[in-house]
Every structure is written in C-alpha cells, then in structure tokens.
A = this chain, B = another copy of it.
C-alpha cells in the first residue's frame, strides 16, 4: 500500500516535513522531548535542535517547555501544535485520495518479484 509524504517548502529555509511532524506527535504523546527522541531513534540533542527550529518558525509556539524538578522538565503541545499535526495529516490523507490514479498507474508498473528485477545493462559505473 503506497504512502505519500509531503514536504512543504515555504522558501529556501523554512519547511515542514514528515520528520518534524512525527517528532511533534511523539512529544505530544510522551510529554517529553527526550522520550520522543528515543522513540524516533534520534539523539536528544538532534531532536532538541529540530523542534527548536520548527518551534521558532511560526509566530505562535508549537510546544511549551516546562522546567521540571527532580525528574527533569516536560514538554506539551500548544493548540497550534495540535493544529499543525492535524493539518499535515489531513493533507497526507487527502493526497492519497487525490493522487490515487497516478499512484496506481506507477504501482502497477513496479517490478514485484525479486527474480523479475531487470538487470542493469552494465555491471559497474562507466562514464556515459
């Protein structure tokens, strides 16, 4: 079953992609950046910078960080963060519907069986 992932580039610098949305969702689910990073198999530092950049892209914040006591702080989604996820996931779902025909056209032409794979004409890169 095909899946369509969307990346919205607002300009050369600002974009929304499935990785950022997934991280945002996991922060909402776990209530913590470190737990979300762990769930994505990503370092805490990388997740922190990813969500920090995403959070600073908009005039409203996507998450709120709360300095905690002993157990460390927590992070929660703002209503705008929830809205961001909902908009993106709705677009993804709609894309599958809107593009069902061209996706099926391409899917029907995929090599299915491993033994049906066409061999490359040349065995190794040769400048051409």
Interface residues of A (CB under 8 A from B): 2-10, 14, 16, 32-34, 44-45, 48-49, 52, 55-61, 65-68, 72-75, 80, 84, 87, 90-91, 94-95, 98-99, 102-103, 105-107, 109-111, 116-122, 125-128
Pick from B59, B95, B110, B126: contact of A58, CB under 8 Å: B110
What CA separation (Å) do A70 and B110 show in the bound complex? 35
A23 to chain B, nearest CB (A): 14
Q: Which residues of B are found within 8 Å of A103, using beta-carbon distances?
A: 8
Which residues of chain B are within 8 angstroms of A117 by Cβ–Cβ distance? 56
- The residue in chain B whose Cβ has the minimal distance to the Cβ of A73 is B128
Whether B98 and A94, one on each chain, are in contact in the complex, defined by CB atoms closer than 8 angstroms, is yes
Q: Closest 5 CB pairs between A and B?
A: A73-B128, A48-B125, A5-B7, A3-B9, A87-B102
